[in-house]
Structure 1
Amino acid sequence: MKNKIIALLCAIILLAGCVPNNSEDEEVLQNDEEGTEQQTFIVPSNQLSNETYPIILPYETSEARGVITNQMANRVDIDEMEQGLMRHSKEVFDPEKLYFQEGQYLTTDDLFSWIDGLNPARLTEEEQEDMDQEEKIDYYEENPRYLSHILEQNYLKRKEKDNTVEVELEGMSIGIALKSVYRFQTETGGPYYYEDIPMKEMLEKGKEYAQTLVTNIREKEGLADIPIMVALYREEDQNSPVPGNFVAKTTVNTGDVIGEWETINEEYILFPSDEASKEYLDDYELVNSFGNEIAQFFPNYVGFIGEGFYIDKELQKLVIDIPLEFYGKTEVTGFTQYTYGLVQDMFSNYYDLEINVTSSNGAESLIFRNAGDESPTIHIYD
């Protein structure tokens, strides 16, 4: 009970720190694309951290809103592409100096036109009629559609002019989503076929597409000279419980010719899994031991699902979801207290840790610890 009270007090303090102080909010102006009209926006005075981009309000959604859900089949890939692109953008666009805004320059028509134009053509009805089934399969296997989606993010800078404060575009990030598995049909309503796409082949195509896209973007008004950060994202299979990851990035400061690419060595690993046991045996055994400790004292425990995020083979964040069936809040409190003790005894604090306890009623409790913190924070939901 004491832990629960402490957790609730911590949550209140945290929420109080995040409440905007409207008296310190700032009004800024932004020119439209032609520079003839200005819109008034508000920059909230509060920011979650120096590593988080502030945003301007009212929040403006992307000009190509919704395209990503049409193009990418796995929700975890969608989330990681959006969040991961922002994470990599911080190395080019300083979150302490710039504001974030969803893409405002590439339209839905742009994206669909470019995606269809860069990918191999689908067979027309006439072509399909002239081919037998084996010929159709051969065609699609030899001409996979590598490109899934193009994601735009904008970064704005503050500028004082004539006793007013304005924001203007400082730079743009472009994420290019590429398939690791190509799924296709040879006829509408027919069975699906699957073709694995090797990393090397995907990278070659992705870099080729990136060059074309940068050239196209430079032709748009207002985008001729801004820095453009481009990152290639390799999707996971559409049924994967963990997302894919970014594999390469580059920045084009001027002109439209892409120079050197930087390799990105990051990945998401499912626990438990064969891949985890082969690639990260120590972490695999630790997480399994954690589950075994819980199983000894809680008969309604059936298992867990874990996800580790690695950069250069070093664990950066571990998330563990534990589904249980509870019959009262005292049981939730007892389980959370016991799990808290295991976290203290078993898990190192050089990476972020998050443990979500759920039941059929939804979220029951949360234990989290940021890298470097000595003790976790607990929250038990009402």
Structure 2
Amino acid sequence: MKKMIAVLFLFVLLVGCAPDFGERDEAVIDESIDESMPETAIVPKYNLREDNYRVLIDSNLSKARGVITNQVANRLDIDELEEGLRRHSMEVYDPDTYYFQEGQYLTDDILYSWLDRYDEDSNPEGLNPEADESKEDDERKEEEEDNPKYLSHILEQNYLQRTENDSVELAGISIGIAMKSVYRFQTEIGGPYYYQDISEKEMMNEANEIAEKVVERIRQMEGLENVPIMLSVFREESQSSLVPGNFVAKTNIAGDSSTVGNWQDINEENVLFPSSYGQDTYPDVWATLVDFESDIGSYFPNYVSAIGKGFFQNGELRKLTVEIPVSFYGKAELIGFTQYVYGLVLAGFPSDYELEVNITSGEKQEALIVRDAGAEEGFVHIYN
């Protein structure tokens, strides 16, 4: 049974001196739950950006709310997994005609059972490899190394479309499978941590088997029997990494299929600057940041070093985020420094990628400079 949501348009009568804030957003009523007590949600009239989805605002938060923060150790990976899955979904579900809703089918109970180890008796739904956790000392360590937990999280996103009778219904889902690049484990509570590297080839072999089982189980859920699925694999970075991991593969599964077909490779990565890898792989970007640092250092004696994080697709830089940590001793000093940095941005950075510069002092953000790809000028904001 497809989930159907009726769309109504509300009009407001102005009473007395009540202010007019313009047209109300669309109200959405979910008739599939209880027609006598319809559930209302809002479809925002405007996007924050043209290349983003309008998000349903209702009481139906993610059914697995909080699971991702318990399963994925690096906060940067969490953000990239969520935002990146939406980014890749845009190639399948056009933001002009689809609405976004957090996952409504994979609950926290379902996910915790899937993400745990397989055990024929206690957890036959587990998607991580079975292991004998009763072993001790070196035998336990070897058991963990031979059977690492590859799978960290499964992220569900829902995409809805308007129908001819002014309702919206689920028209597709996206599933992100987050896999570890490093397995971190203990053999006893309070004991030392051990680290097991996982190659991308080994990870993808496991991810393919997991994906087959996930799709098979999704097709058995009411409301998802015939819904198209966009499936992708995310490779996490290590817990201490200063940049997030990246998506490595994706595939589309038609509504009448329960089989994972051929994977399409995704060529994207997040790169830290300065780093030897960044210098060797993207020398032009590295050189631009070196010149930028030199110009800042000649102006401001309290400056330490800029930290750059570049997002690349197919070898091309799409977004560069730069953090500049500085200690200030007055507002005028901050304003003058921000003006100077903004001039360096316009003069020294190519305009063919999105650029974001964050000027910080301690734990506080002092100023923000943003320039969109292709723009001649940018936006500057100095915080109070």
TM-score between both structures, scaled by the size of structure 1: 0.89
How does 1:341-352 map onto structure 2 within 5 Å? 341-352=343-354
- Structure 1 stretches of at least 4 aligned residues deviating more than 6 Å after TM superposition: 33-37
How does 1:306-345 map onto structure 2 within 5 Å? 306-345=308-347
- Kept in 1, the 8 Å contact 2:160–2:168? The answer is yes
1:158 matches 2:162: yes
Counterpart residue identity of residue 118, structure 1 = L
* Cα 1:35–1:237 shift into 2, 3 Å: farther
Consecutive unaligned residues in structure 1, runs of 5 or more: 1-19
Distance 1:361 1:201 in 2: 39
Task: State the Cα distance separating 1:47 from its structure 2 match.
Answer: 1.9
- Kept in 1, the 8 Å contact 2:249–2:265? The answer is yes
The C-alpha deviation readout for 1:299-344, integer Å capped at 9, x for no partner, is 0101111100000110000000001111111111110111111111
Whichever structure has more helix as a proportion of its residues is 1
Task: State the Cα distance separating 1:59 from its structure 2 match.
Answer: 5.4
Who is 1:186 aligned against? 187
Who is 1:297 aligned against? 299
Who is 1:121 aligned against? 130
Who is 1:4 aligned against? none
Query: SS of 2:271's equivalent?
Result: strand
Q: Which moved more, 1:29-38 or 1:39-48?
A: 29-38
- Kept in 2, the 8 Å contact 1:21–1:45? The answer is no
Query: SS of 2:55's equivalent?
Result: coil
Who is 1:278 aligned against? 280
The share of aligned pairs that are identical, in percent, is 52
Task: State the Cα distance separating 1:236 from its structure 2 match.
Answer: 0.2
Query: SS of 1:317's equivalent?
Result: strand
Distance 1:115 1:191 in 2: 23
Distance 2:33 2:80 in 1: 29
- Kept in 2, the 8 Å contact 1:146–1:179? The answer is yes
How does 1:53-64 map onto structure 2 within 5 Å? 53-58=53-58, 60-64=60-64
Q: Which moved more, 1:180-189 or 1:45-54?
A: 45-54
Counterpart residue identity of residue 215, structure 2 = V
- Kept in 1, the 8 Å contact 2:178–2:235? The answer is yes
The C-alpha deviation readout for 1:124-146, integer Å capped at 9, x for no partner, is 3xx32xx5x22222211111110
Who is 2:4 aligned against? none
Who is 2:229 aligned against? 228
Distance 2:169 2:21 in 1: 24
What RMSD, in angstroms, separates the aligned Cα atoms of the two structures? 1.7
- Kept in 2, the 8 Å contact 1:31–1:168? The answer is no
Distance 2:321 2:21 in 1: 33
Q: How many residues align?
A: 355
Query: SS of 1:118's equivalent?
Result: coil
Distance 1:180 1:207 in 2: 15
How does 1:1-382 map onto structure 2 within 5 Å? 23-32=23-32, 38-58=38-58, 60-116=60-116, 117-124=126-133, 127-128=134-135, 131=136, 133-161=137-165, 165-253=166-254, 254-360=256-362, 362-382=364-384
Distance 1:28 1:68 in 2: 28
* Cα 1:84–1:21 shift into 2, 3 Å: farther
Distance 1:36 1:199 in 2: 52
* Cα 1:146–1:21 shift into 2, 3 Å: farther
- Kept in 1, the 8 Å contact 2:131–2:147? The answer is no
Distance 2:35 2:235 in 1: 37
Consecutive unaligned residues in structure 2, runs of 5 or more: 1-19, 117-125
* Cα 1:347–1:140 shift into 2, 3 Å: same
Task: State the Cα distance separating 1:58 from its structure 2 match.
Answer: 2.6
The C-alpha deviation readout for 1:275-307, integer Å capped at 9, x for no partner, is 111111111111011011100110010111110
Who is 2:123 aligned against? none
Distance 2:363 2:79 in 1: 24
Query: SS of 2:62's equivalent?
Result: coil
Distance 2:69 2:35 in 1: 32
